[in-house]
Amino acid sequence: MADNKKYYGLDASQEKQLVSFLKKFSFPPNTTFTAFDHDGFYSAHESSAALTAKLLFKTSAPLKNIGKDDDKFSTVYLAKPRFESFARDLLLTHQYRIEIYSKSDSSWKLDCKASPGYLSEVEELLFSNTEDSETLSGVIGVKHYQSSAGCRCIGIGFVNSLSKEIYISEFEDNEVFANLQSAIIQLGAKECLLAKVDQSPESIRLTEALTRNGVMITTRQKKDFVTTDAAQDLGRLVKKKRRSGEALAATISKMITENDAAAAGLAACICYLDLMSDENNFNQYSFADFDLSQFMKLDKSAYAALNLFSADGAQASMTGSVRKHADSLYSILDNCKTSEGRKLLTQWIKQPLLDVNLIRERLDIVEAFVMDTTLRLSLSGDHLKKFPDLSKMSKKFHRKAANLQDCYKVYTAVKFVPKLCECLANNEEYHPLLMKEVFITPLHELTLEFAKFIDMIETTLDFKMISQHHFRVKATFDPELTKLKEEMEQIQSKMERCFEAAADDLQLERGKGLKFESNALFGHFFRVTCKDEKALRSKRNNYITIDTKKDGVRFVTDKLRKLSASYEECQTRYEDHQSGIVSEIIGIASGYSDLMLRLGNLIAKLDVLASFSQAAINAPTQYEKPVVHSIDAGKGIVLKECRHPCLERQNDVSFIPNDVIFDRAKNTFIIITGPNMGGKSTYIRQTGMVVLMAQIGSFVPCSEAEITVVDAILARVGAGDCQTRGVSTFMAEMLDASMILRSATANSLVIIDELGRGTSTYDGFGLAWSISHHIATEIKAFTLFATHFHELTELADQVRTVSNMHVTALIGDLDDPDSTMTMLYQIRPGVCDQSFGIHVAECVGFPKHVIEWARVRCEELERYSVPDDGKGGGVDADERKRVMKKEARAVVRNFMQKVRAVDWDSLAEEEAASKLRTLKNGTPLDNPIVANIVGQ
């Protein structure tokens, strides 16, 4: 709960001053959270206080009133750690803007502000100890227009002010802005700048597309989208190293001229983030033309359906064992040892590759790590842990906000690189040339460029003091430093003598019964263990006790206290005097910030690929390397014994694998029928996950995999509405279906689960049929379509590239109250011969009379829905089918009883196979249903 104001020491004068300011203060809209910094704690008022009570405390109890009579303000107080956590949640999860006010003389002023895409002002305050900011931050400016040919064109400018990245891109789009949505996912944009939002159909569709992707919309004035100064501003922001200024200026000018709409979006981003007002931004940004065609397109539905990230945040929930938290693809693949590796993994999952050569390069490196156990364990167990977050270090040095400890961290990282290269070079059997080209050579070149940095640190830093956690400049650099060091050493000697005298007095052994320690709070002191505390008790008059804890009693003497104070004073003078030298060191080291970033990027890439190898080895059944073909190869997709990477890791689950086969000429559209809970949804989702895993360079959960690169994964999965946006379940289905029909190509993978169930049976079936027919005959994308419309299976008779697959279940006698339904979870060719909905209701304990009435009505509908055509169809055929099913149930139940009676664990593999064949041979297979279940 929030603590009251007295706990934080808000006295009457401070309260009166704050109330006086709030009376004149114009509170921002409810989408902005306002907080006041009281130097150690924060307060929020009115709507912001109510929001805090609602979201953070789930109760109004923490709300207090300050002021009197008509000038009362609802208030809540937050300690600093709780405020920081809550503010991060508001920005990244709930998408609020934040304004923080601080005390200035006798009033308050706006100190910093932030929004989901603009975090740079609060980076140090909220994200100094987290990894979320860079991967979840970014502003995108959008301008759309009609081309001369009548096409809808989109221009985007994207800026991530934390990772220092700038992109522009222009592309054609469709009515549902599919390409824009894909770009938002790939870039990780959290906030979108628009020139205007009106009630025109175009604007409504655009805002719906942005809202569906969880992007905050910010409206800016049209003047912010003017490109007059875009080239000049960009020229000052972009890094000029490794390229002449003239060449860079010409390149920027050309890109701005050729991409006028994108330049307008970028100009709005630069203005919104106020980049030109801070000289620290100059010559710091990377700049590129963002090509949508280099990555696989993912729509929002596929992003959710494939469980790419945990529902409660990709990184936040990834602690603990993999088996316990294997609820997303990220959690499966995250065995990274560096924070930079985890950021890159997040980026790679959002940006699956289309370039088959790059995919194969990643797969080959992962194969080297999988096959070379010593190399893999050395990297994950020791080497990668040696590297700090070099991207954060790079930014600290660029701002000249680093210290000697940061210099030492970079120094130790660079010094360790040769050992890392030596470890990688020991791999001589699996792709050694590729390993050398991708990692060893670039790392070696970087160490050469860091040579002068290493020399500077070794020359200036006092390494003897580092073991005592003191980071100092060597005393030999300055006569005054030498004098102060000698003085501190003299004091240190006197304190050592005090230690000896105390040990003799207490008759305790130094370093065991009596210890000599120091910390920032107490300075230097003695500590006696609890076991030997009685020696101190008898001579308490000679010593001053500081505190008593589980690890013993801390105490000092008058002489030690004075010596410790003198030592602290000398140390402070030493640090003050060396500050000028430290500033020079940091100034020189800041010139290496770009090299730090490049080194960090290499380590991150190595970390992710090593993480992929760990995931492949640690799986319940080891992953295999897929064979990947280019889009234009004309191949299909073949996944043998394919498994769901998350479900197979659940405890007490024996996952049943299934094959997935797409043939470009024969089989591109698969219809899957069968009971609820039978495995249809798992089957189609695991196919999408396996294809995506292959295209990010990971091994896959299959015994064999041959995959043709797909340009997009599009999905219609799940039944959900969004009441806040007025979107019903059926409308959500239709929006996803519209996205698929307008975006899919012959090279896409489409997964559809239960399309059409949100409306009447006849409407739903009609839509499912027409959508399926269009995809199968016109688009010709690889498609998995799970449905309960058994009539849809007739599409296979009309379109040669459509095939039917099914899952089935075993059920007991309908007249047996103890009968059960057993799911087989096997995908087999053909059509499911019955619906199991009533049996599922029976399993969950529906009242018997409800089940019986449902069965009666179902039989009536089945009887009258198929008229007797005089040729064996209609009612007579239905009756024969029911008899056949009843006979099959009896035979299969008898077969299963015999199977259960066998002690399979006691049999060898060959004996078990022989026994199973004997049981099958003794079962009559003249009934086709029995033959389909038992005979395979």
Q: What is the pLDDT of residue 882?
A: 60
Identify the three-state secondary structure at position 333: helix
Distance CA 97, CA 54 (A): 17
Region 491-505 average pLDDT: 92
CA distances for 855 relative to 63, 667, 838, 880, angstroms: 57, 36, 7, 18
CA distance 233 to 229: 6
| Residue 42 pLDDT | 93
State whether 659 and 800 are in the same domain. Answer: yes
Supply the range of the domain harboring residue 533: 475-573
Residue 934 banded pLDDT, cuts 50, 70, 90: low
In this structure, are 106 and 156 located in the same domain? no
Alpha helices in 784-847 (DSSP H): 795-798, 837-843
510: buried, middle or exposed (CB in 10 Å: 19+, 13-18, 0-12)? middle
Same domain, 40 and 149: no
Does a structural domain hold residue 542? yes
For residues 91 and 193, membership in a common domain is answered with: no
The answer on pLDDT for 320 being more than 50 is no
Question: Which of 414 and 9 is assigned the larger pLDDT?
Answer: 414
Given 52, 79, 114, the domain boundary residue is 114
Mean pLDDT of 428-432: 88
**Quick one: pLDDT at residue 372?**
93
Over residues 816-858, the pLDDT tens digits come to 545 566 677 888 898 876 666 776 777 777 887 787 778 777 7
- Does residue 265 sit within a domain? yes
User: How does pLDDT run across 63-118, given as a tens digit for each residue?
Assistant: 988 988 778 899 999 998 899 999 989 988 888 999 999 988 778 999 999 998 88
Query: Would you state the pLDDT for residue 102?
Result: 92
**What pLDDT, on a 0 to 100 scale, did the predictor assign at position 580?**
87
**CA distance linking residue 838 with residue 831, whole number of Å:** 19
CATH number of the domain where residue 765 is located: 3.40.50.300
Global pTM reads 0.82
Assign residue 142 the CATH number of its domain. Answer: 3.30.420.110
Between helix 356-371 and helix 680-695 the angle, nearest 10°, is: 90
Residues 90 and 152 both lie in one domain? no
Query: Of 114, 145, 164, which one is at a domain's C-terminal end?
Result: 114
Check the CA dihedral 667-668-669-675 and report its sign: positive
The pLDDT assigned to 538 comes to 77
Q: Compute how many other C-beta atoms are within 10 angstroms of the C-beta atom of residue 485.
A: 19
Query: Both 47 and 109 in a single domain?
Result: yes
Number of domains in the chain: 5
Residue 394 has pLDDT above 70, yes or no: yes
- What's residue 818's pLDDT? 53
- Residue 273 inside a domain? The answer is yes
Q: CATH no. for residue 103?
A: 3.40.1170.10
Mean pLDDT, to the nearest integer, of 176-202? 87
Residues 734 and 634 in one domain: yes
**Does the pLDDT of residue 145 top 70, yes or no?**
yes
Query: In terms of DSSP bridges, do strands 191-194 and 216-219 run parallel, antiparallel, or are they unpaired?
Result: parallel
φ/ψ (deg, to 5) at 48: -70, -35
Q: Specify the 3-state DSSP secondary structure of 587.
A: helix
Give the pLDDT of residue 34: 95
Distances (CA, A) of 675 to 409, 815, 861: 58, 20, 19
What's the pLDDT tens digit per position in 510-521?
Answer: 888 899 998 878
Asked whether residue 842 is domain-assigned, the answer is: no
Same domain (yes/no): 63, 190? no
Taking each helix axis as running N to C, give the angle between helix 178-187 and helix 201-212, from 0 to 180 degrees, rounded to the nearest 10.
30
With vertex at residue 188, the alpha carbon angle to CA 186 and CA 190, rounded to the nearest 5 degrees, is: 140
Model pLDDT, residue 602 = 96
Does some domain include residue 536?
yes
pLDDT band at 898 (very low <50, low <70, confident <90, very high): confident
For residue 819, being part of any structural domain is answered with: yes
Q: What's the pLDDT at 877?
A: 52
- By mean pLDDT, which of 507-511, 606-610, 792-796, 862-866 is the weakest? 862-866
Across 134-159, average pLDDT: 82
Give the pLDDT mean for 284-303: 88
Taking 60 as the threshold, does the pLDDT of residue 319 lie above it? no
The CA-CA-CA angle for residues 745, 746, 748, to 5°, reads 65
**Res 911: pLDDT:** 79
| β-strands 297-298, 712-716 pairing | parallel
Q: Which residue has the higher pLDDT, 95 or 652?
A: 95
Rounded to whole angstroms, the Cα distance separating 302 from 695 reads 15
* Closest alpha carbon to 635 in 660, 665, 659: 665
Confidence at residue 566, expressed as pLDDT on a 0 to 100 scale: 92
Residue 800 counted as domain residue: yes
Report if residue 456 sits inside a domain.
no
- In contact, 543 and 557? CB cutoff 8 Å: yes
What pLDDT, on the 0 to 100 scale, is given for residue 884? 65
d(CA 166, CA 164): 7
| Residues 682, 724 share a domain | yes
Same domain, 673 and 821: yes
> Is 421 within 8 Å of 386 (Cβ atoms)?
no
Tell whether 174 and 66 lie within a shared domain. Answer: no
Q: Give me the chain's average pLDDT, please.
A: 85
More confident residue, 364 or 920: 364
* Cα(623)–Cα(702) distance, integer angstroms: 6
Residue count of the chain, please give it.
936
Mean pLDDT of 483-507: 90
CB 190 within 8 A of CB 216: yes
- For strand 41-45 and strand 32-37, is the pairing parallel, antiparallel, or unpaired? antiparallel
Helices (H), 399-478: 404-425, 432-435, 441-449, 451-460, 463-466
The CATH number linked to 540 is 1.10.1420.10
In the predicted structure, residue 925 carries a pLDDT above the cut 70: no
Q: What is the pLDDT of residues 623-639, one digit of tens each?
A: 999 999 998 888 899 99
Boundary residue ending a domain (529, 555, 573): 573
- Cβ atoms of 139 and 159 within 8 Å: the answer is yes
Instruction: Give the residue from 882, 878, 883, 881 showing the smallest Cα distance to 868.
Output: 878
Listed range (410-424, 436-450, 742-756) with the worst mean pLDDT:
742-756
Q: Does 155 share its domain with 230?
A: yes
Q: What average pLDDT does range 640-644 have in this prediction?
A: 95
**pLDDT (0 to 100) of residue 918:** 79
Q: What percent of the chain has pLDDT over 90?
A: 43
